[in-house]
């Protein structure tokens, strides 16, 4: 077979054109929604394609060398093919939080995302062009000539970029200022930037020791009543799909029979598990929170531990995202631990043996955190046993383009129906202990979910551009009969706007913990009362 020889410049340019033509369908689809194809906009759209090509060429040229060019091109091709699949089919954005999600995803979650279409993307847009790049040979050139050509290519790219931007400055002004979200879809440029941002934040926080928080926390001596509180961290549960909040379908048939106080206007800290879970347990409000702050500061569970509260985290999701690093943690994703497993291990398995744990704690208050698998997508049909398949027909695929919106929504609602059953079992467990404890359950989802609205699916969009469906979460409180709380006052304010910023101080209030860091104004139990 004849060996093809070419220059670095030609290979990089051809690969950049390949990226623009085949890996940026989501980008141009979103662009034409803002700048429709017309005689007025056609020049700008062509200019945008040329600028993106030049920018990709510039990016690769800056790192090109005799030994680096082909490995870099192959790496970008392989990664871009997978990114293109998720952006094209779910309209997601690969930002630094999404990369954090990807890094922290376990094997079972990865399998849920695997399908023939993803393989096709990987083969046609990743593996095959990578094979072509691998087989091509570079024309021999001296290092001096190579340096001159590299400088020339950088200058040409810069001239093309700035020249085209200046010529169409009226369009680019609105593109950069008013439609910033569009550039989040560029492939591979934005995920390269996001990967750098994620690596930087990870390196900065990897060796950081968590600063002590609330070391003064104490339970008052006069508080003779023991608290037993179960905090359930839900997964991808939207507020508007809970019948407790007025949804037409009965997705909460069991909870509706209990004296449940639903917070219909609760909002999340982020749009992904990896961000929301550490954020909701931190003392920092959403606008001040960052991954580095979360890792470098103790959280709610640490404060409760300082106060002498027995804390236990049971997990049937990916993990605690670092929240339970310093408290007892039990992983229920595996049949060796979770006794309730069929197609996958079920959330209700986290309740097995929990009464024994409660009985062994002879004194002091108890907080138990149960982290659900809940409505983890896209394989919603796997999230519940067959007995809970009430709403049909159901999407039996992780590839949403094979299903109708109705089928996707049915599978999602069935998963909520199973969550309703699971939470009812939690309440039954608490009722058994109401004679010994003041019992309560707080349920709060980590984030919401898009189910096809505006062409979006799943979650994880940057907070500023994410629709309410990904941020407006299901949350409620249940109290045992012996728990001393003004239920009427709580019910009167339950419809007000709350967020995961309130979780930290509300749990401290429920546990009656005294500490200087407690903010009564952020405690839902005391919200809008005399301070």
pLDDT of 398-435, one tens digit each?
888 889 999 999 999 999 999 999 999 999 999 999 99
Phi, psi angles (nearest 5°) of residue 202: -70, -45
What sections of 168-188 are H helices per DSSP? 169-177
Q: What confidence category does residue 114 fall into, taking pLDDT thresholds of 50, 70 and 90?
A: confident
223 burial via Cβ count (<10 Å: 0-12, 13-18, 19+):
middle
Strands (E), 156-238: 227-234
Q: How many CA atoms lie within 13 A of 322 on its CB side?
A: 26
Q: pLDDT class for 387, splitting at 50, 70, 90?
A: very high
Q: Is the pLDDT of residue 529 over 70?
A: no
pLDDT of residue 381: 96
Beta-strand relationship, 227-234 and 438-445: parallel
Q: How far is CA 339 from the centre of its chain?
A: 28
Q: Alpha-carbon dihedral of residues 226, 230, 231, 234, nearest 10 degrees?
A: -170
| The pLDDT of residue 208 | 62
38 CB neighbour count, 10 Å cutoff = 9
The pLDDT tens digits of the residues spanning 329-349 come to 999 999 999 999 998 999 999
pLDDT surpasses 70 at 3 = no
Residue of 474, 470, 486 whose CA lies nearest to 529? 486
Q: What is the pLDDT of residues 211-265, one digit of tens each?
A: 999 999 999 877 678 999 999 999 999 999 999 999 999 999 999 999 999 999 9
Q: Is 214:59 a contact under the CB 8 Å cutoff?
A: no
What pLDDT sits at residue 173? 83
pLDDT of residue 108: 73
Q: Give the integer Cα–Cα distance in Å for 460 and 444.
A: 18
Residue carrying structure tokens 């698998």: 373
Q: Give the pairing of strands 457-458 and 310-315.
A: unpaired
Residue 197, number of CB atoms within 10 A of its CB: 14
User: What share of the chain in percent tops pLDDT 90?
Assistant: 79
| 311 Cα distance to chain centroid | 25
DSSP string for 225-247: SPEEEEEEEESS-BGGG-GGGT-
Which of 379, 409, 413 lies closest to 397, judged by CA? 379
Q: How confident is the model at residue 531 (pLDDT cuts 50, 70, 90)?
A: very low
**Six token digits for residue 5:** 């020889």
Closest CA to 350 of 369, 324, 332, 375: 332
Q: Which helix (H) or strand (E) holds 442?
A: strand 438-445
Which domains, ranges and CATH numbers included, belong to the chain? 5-206 (no CATH), 227-526 (3.40.720.10)
Query: Taking the mean position of all CA atoms in its chain, how far away is CA 359?
Result: 35
174 phi and psi, to 5 degrees?
Answer: -70, -35
Report the 10 Å Cβ neighbour count for 1: 4
Q: What is the model's pLDDT at position 181?
A: 85
pLDDT in tens, 203-224: 776 556 789 999 999 998 776 7
Taking 80 as the threshold, does the pLDDT of residue 177 lie above it?
A: no
Mean of per-residue pLDDT scores for the chain: 93
Q: Are 216 and 298 in contact (CB under 8 A)?
A: no
Q: State yes or no: pLDDT of 504 exceeds 70.
A: yes
Sign of CA dihedral 515, 517, 520, 522: negative
DSSP, collapsed to helix, strand or coil, labels residue 496 as coil
The confidence score (pLDDT) of residue 339 equals 95
- Evaluate whether 441 touches 262 at the Cβ level (below 8 Å): no
Do the Cβ atoms of 412 and 451 come closer than 8 Å? yes
């Amino acid at each position: 077979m004849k060996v093809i020889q070419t220059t670095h410049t030609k290979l990089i340019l051809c690969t950049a054109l390949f990226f623009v033509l085949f890996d940026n369908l989501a980008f141009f689809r979103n662009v034409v929604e803002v700048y429709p194809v017309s005689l007025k906009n056609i020049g700008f759209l062509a200019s945008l394609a040329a600028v993106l090509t030049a920018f990709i060429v510039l990016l690769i040229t800056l790192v090109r060398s005799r030994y680096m060019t082909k490995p870099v091109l192959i790496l970008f091709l392989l990664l871009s093919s997978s990114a293109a699949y998720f952006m094209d089919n779910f309209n997601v954005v690969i930002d630094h939080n999404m990369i954090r999600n990807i890094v922290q995803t376990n094997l079972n979650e990865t399998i849920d995302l695997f399908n023939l279409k993803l393989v096709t993307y990987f083969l046609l847009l990743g593996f095959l062009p990578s094979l072509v790049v691998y087989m091509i040979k570079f024309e021999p050139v001296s290092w001096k000539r190579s340096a001159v050509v590299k400088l020339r290519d950088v200058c040409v790219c810069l001239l093309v970029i700035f020249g085209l931007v200046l010529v169409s400055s009226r369009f680019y002004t609105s593109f950069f200022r008013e439609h910033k979200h569009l550039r989040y879809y560029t492939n591979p440029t934005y995920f390269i930037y996001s990967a750098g941002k994620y690596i930087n934040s990870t390196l900065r926080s990897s060796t950081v020791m968590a600063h002590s928080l609330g070391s003064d926390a104490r339970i008052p001596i006069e508080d003779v009543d023991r608290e037993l509180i179960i905090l359930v961290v839900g997964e991808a549960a939207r507020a508007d799909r809970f019948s407790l909040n007025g949804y037409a379908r009965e997705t909460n048939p069991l909870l509706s029979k209990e004296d449940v106080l639903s917070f219909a206007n609760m909002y999340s800290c982020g749009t992904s598990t990896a961000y929301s879970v550490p954020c909701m347990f931190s003392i920092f409000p959403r606008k001040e929170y960052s991954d580095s702050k979360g890792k470098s500061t103790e959280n709610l569970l640490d404060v409760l531990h300082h106060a002498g509260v027995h804390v236990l985290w049971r997990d049937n999701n990916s993990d605690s995202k670092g929240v339970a690093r310093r408290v007892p943690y039990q992983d229920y994703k595996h049949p060796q631990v979770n006794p309730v497993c069929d197609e996958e291990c079920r959330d209700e398995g986290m309740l097995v043996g929990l009464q024994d744990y409660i009985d062994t704690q002879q004194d002091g208050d108890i907080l138990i955190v149960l982290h659900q698998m809940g409505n983890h997508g896209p394989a919603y049909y796997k999230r519940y046993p067959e007995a809970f398949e009430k709403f049909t027909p159901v999407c039996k695929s992780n590839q949403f383009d094979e299903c109708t919106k109705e089928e996707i929504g049915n599978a999602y609602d069935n998963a909520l129906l199973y969550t309703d059953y699971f939470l009812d079992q939690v309440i039954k467990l608490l009722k058994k202990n109401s004679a010994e404890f003041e019992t309560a359950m707080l349920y709060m989802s980590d984030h919401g979910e898009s189910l096809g609205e505006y062409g979006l699916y799943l979650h994880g969009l940057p907070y500023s551009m994410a629709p309410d469906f990904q941020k407006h979460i299901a949350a409620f409180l249940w109290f045992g009969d012996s728990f001393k709380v003004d239920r009427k006052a709580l019910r009167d304010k339950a419809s007000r706007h709350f967020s995961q910023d309130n979780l930290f101080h509300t749990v401290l209030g429920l546990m009656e913990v005294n500490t200087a860091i407690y903010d009564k104004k952020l405690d839902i139990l005391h919200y809008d009362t005399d301070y």
